[in-house]
Chains A and B, each alone.
Chain A
Amino acid sequence: MSTLMLATDELRGLIDDIWTSLFETPLDQDAPMPDDPVTAFVDISGGWQGRVLVATTTEGALALAAHMLAVPESTVREADLADAIGELANIVGGSVKSCVDGQSTLSLPNVSRFAPGAPGPDALQVLATWHHHPLCIRVAPARPLIPARRSSSEGSTS
């Protein structure tokens, strides 16, 4: 069984490094979870299993895509927007995967428009802004499927 050796402040550090490398600016102050976000996620499989998710507003995804493609925002297509936010999830996911001891694999990114909901108690989450666009980055372990336990009054002969 592998473990993820990452704390929230270390996740924030990873993300700042990524944003500084790609966008020349680290993320800014905390912000609320974006409403009606564009969400991209990658899954990590292996000894540690979980999901790494990046969510932002449509305007935020548009700004990120325009910056990565070096084109005006007015020329960014829906496919470009999904591509850019998906690649960011891939890069964050790869950085998180390197914090897992043992072998694991990274899925290709999935992108859709859904609100991630509230984080579970064991999730790591960073809420921030980039050029005033809210961003949510979350690392959540997969929930193990626990078979229902029989109650102590069921079928016990001891």
Chain B
Amino acid sequence: MLAMVIDDSRAMRAILRRIVTELGFECTEAGDGQEALDKMRAGEVPELCLVDWNMPVLDGLSFIQAVRATAEWRNITLMMVTTEGEQAQIVRALAAGAHEYVIKPFTPDAIEEKLQLLGLVGVRA
């Protein structure tokens, strides 16, 4: 299963890559929403996107709206991973089509727990 980590921070992408790789995903990266869309239009379509909100060029909310407006991408699971912790922002992201929402800072367990809720990783015995 392919996960795409979309964040303008290379350090944050590295952290998320380690977590999802540990959970059995293959991983690809994009530095902003536009780069992610370009990769997807070129055929690199993931099953899961972990998306930051505040990014240059194309922010995470706009990326989610673009993905949700594309019929052939409707099965992609979108998880927002962001510092935007206010309730109103969470509601906006979920209304735009995000399935889950994780606030930075997070622990690996928090990411794993959300992916378990989404049915993308199994529950450890």
Contacts and interface: CB of A to CB of B under 8 A. Distances in A.
Interface of A: 17-18, 21-22, 65, 68-70, 79-80, 83-84, 86-87, 90-91, 93-95, 97-98, 103, 106, 108
Given A68-B14, A80-B10, A21 B105 contact: yes
Given A17-B105, A108-B56, A83 B86 contact: no
Contacts of A95: 83, 85, 105
B84 interface: yes
4 smallest beta-carbon distances between A and B, as pairs:
A94-B83, A21-B105, A68-B11, A87-B9
Nearest to A101: B86
Interface residues of B, number: 22
B9 A108 contact: no
12 contacts: A22-B15, A65-B11, A68-B15, A69-B10, A69-B14, A80-B11, A94-B103, A95-B83, A97-B83, A97-B86, A98-B85, A103-B88
Contacts of A97: 83-86
B29 interface: no
B77 interface: no
A97 B106 CA distance: 17
Chain A interface, DSSP helix/strand/loop, else mixed: helix
A83 B9 contact: yes
Given A87-B12, A91-B83, A98-B85, 9 more contacts: A17-B105, A18-B105, A21-B105, A68-B14, A83-B10, A86-B9, A95-B85, A97-B83, A103-B88
B86 A21 contact: no
Interface string B94-118: 0000000001111100000000000
A69 B8 contact: no
A108 B54 contact: yes
Interface in B56-83: 56, 82-83
Contacts of B55: 108
A69 B8 CA distance: 14
A97 B87 CA distance: 12
B107 A90 contact: no
A97 B84 CA distance: 8
A91 B82 CA distance: 8
Contacts of B56: 108
Nearest to A92: B83
A48 B110 CA distance: 30
Contact of A94 (B15, B18, B84, B107): B84
A22 B105 contact: yes
Interface centre among A87, A93, A95, A97 (most CB of B within 10 A): A87
B12 to A, nearest CB: 5
B107 A21 contact: yes
